[in-house]
Amino acid sequence: QVQVVESGGGLVQPGGSLRLSCAASGSIFHINSMEWYRQAPGKGREFVARTTSGGGIVYADSVKGRFTISRGNTKNTVYLQMDSLKPEDTAIYYCRVVKSTVLYWGQGTQVTVSS
């Protein structure tokens, strides 16, 4: 089992920045990837960014050039640096850990971009 906990959400003005954190604990060996998703009010959950154990990184087109995903030194932590935030980035942000064929989700952290 893997436990996933996100933190770092909050209220920020358009053009501002936030840094989200995700920590995985428990059986953290052989994690394939750590990923960020988000769900805006009234919409489905969408992919934001992914970092794999091999060092690969992928971004959704909507965040490319504004968001940066990175792994911590312990490899069981992932960060999402969000810059130039827009109102349409408002959503609950979820961290997902992929271990073999099993997906582990966190509870999510709210990000609100508003003036």
pLDDT digits (tens), the chain, 115 positions: 899 999 999 999 999 999 999 999 998 888 899 999 999 999 999 999 999 988 899 999 999 999 999 998 877 999 999 999 999 999 999 999 999 889 999 999 999 999 9
pLDDT of 96 reads 97
Q: Are 103 and 91 in contact (CB under 8 A)?
A: no
DSSP secondary structure letters along 14-74: TT--EEEEEEEEES-TT--EEEEEEE-TTS-EEEEEEEETTS-EEE-TTTTTTEEEEE-TT
- Backbone φ and ψ for 68, nearest 5 degrees, come out as -135, 125
The DSSP call for residue 55 is S
The DSSP call for residue 75 is S
What is the distance of C-alpha 106 from the center of its chain? 10
Q: Are 85 and 16 in contact (CB under 8 A)?
A: yes
